[in-house]
Amino acid sequence: MGNLLRETPYSEITATLEVLQRFGVERKHLEVIRQDEDYAIEIARAIVNLRDPTRVARKVTGNCFEVTMDCSRTLEQMIAEARFSWVNPEITAERFPVKGAGKSKVCVELFSYPEAMTSELVLIDLAMRGLEPAPIEVGLALSRENPDLQRLSLIPMFGSVWIDPGSMRKYVPTLGGTWDGGRRLDMMLHKNYWFTPCRFLVLRKP
């Protein structure tokens, strides 16, 4: 086992912090790692158990889907075009605003883990792999063009987050199936444990 402090240049430490910051990690989160041994163990275990990034990158490349987004459409129009069997009425344009403008094509991937993961660990891992969580408009485009994908597993969209002003809890939209073979658009707690089968919708950074 090497010496992490001696072997890691300061420039790499700074670059790592910049990546984590882009995905919402703040100084207070790092303080918790230093102060809470159980939390530190959980983070360390997730990092140590990461599979070879180059091997994973090759694996998920075959799971890429090109979808067309039209951000000139309202969220309500996008939801209607996806033709869901059920939609959580709490999902509104005010809570999950559409980003971007006009039409564009993006390549998205569905990324999964062999074990249950917390939201925090998923975001850290995705950042380390150069993957960016996709927002709800990307998920709606994927569901419209590939409706059967969400019947196979739950698909969280971490790129869109709503904070309940009453409880201050964070929620993310999800795509999933229904007991009778239909398709649903729902939302779940951001700090939930995500169990397999669960595939996270991501964008690979250029």
Instruction: Point out which residues pair with 86 in neighbouring strands.
Output: 184
For residue 140, which amino acid is it? L
pTM (2 decimals)? 0.71
For residue 94, report the phi and psi dihedrals to the nearest 5 degrees: -65, -40
Q: What is the pLDDT of residue 49?
A: 56
Q: Is there a contact between 153 and 140 (Cβ–Cβ < 8 Å)?
A: no
If you write DSSP's letter for every residue of 168-189 in order, what string do you get?
--EEEEEEEE-TTS-EEEEEEE
Q: What is the pLDDT of residue 61?
A: 37
Ordered by start, the domain boundaries in the chain are 4-204
Q: What is the pLDDT of residue 14?
A: 84
Residue-wise over 140-176: b if at least 16 C-beta within 10 A, else e?
bbbbbeeeebbeeebbbbbbbbbeeeeeeebbbbbbb
3-state secondary structure at position 183: strand
Q: What is the mean pLDDT of each run of 10 residues along the chain (206 residues)?
A: 76 81 79 80 67 41 78 96 97 94 90 88 89 96 95 95 95 95 95 85 82
Q: Is there a contact between 19 and 91 (Cβ–Cβ < 8 Å)?
A: no
Residue whose entry in the numeric block shows the structure tokens 């939930």: 192
Tokens encoding 189: 């707690």
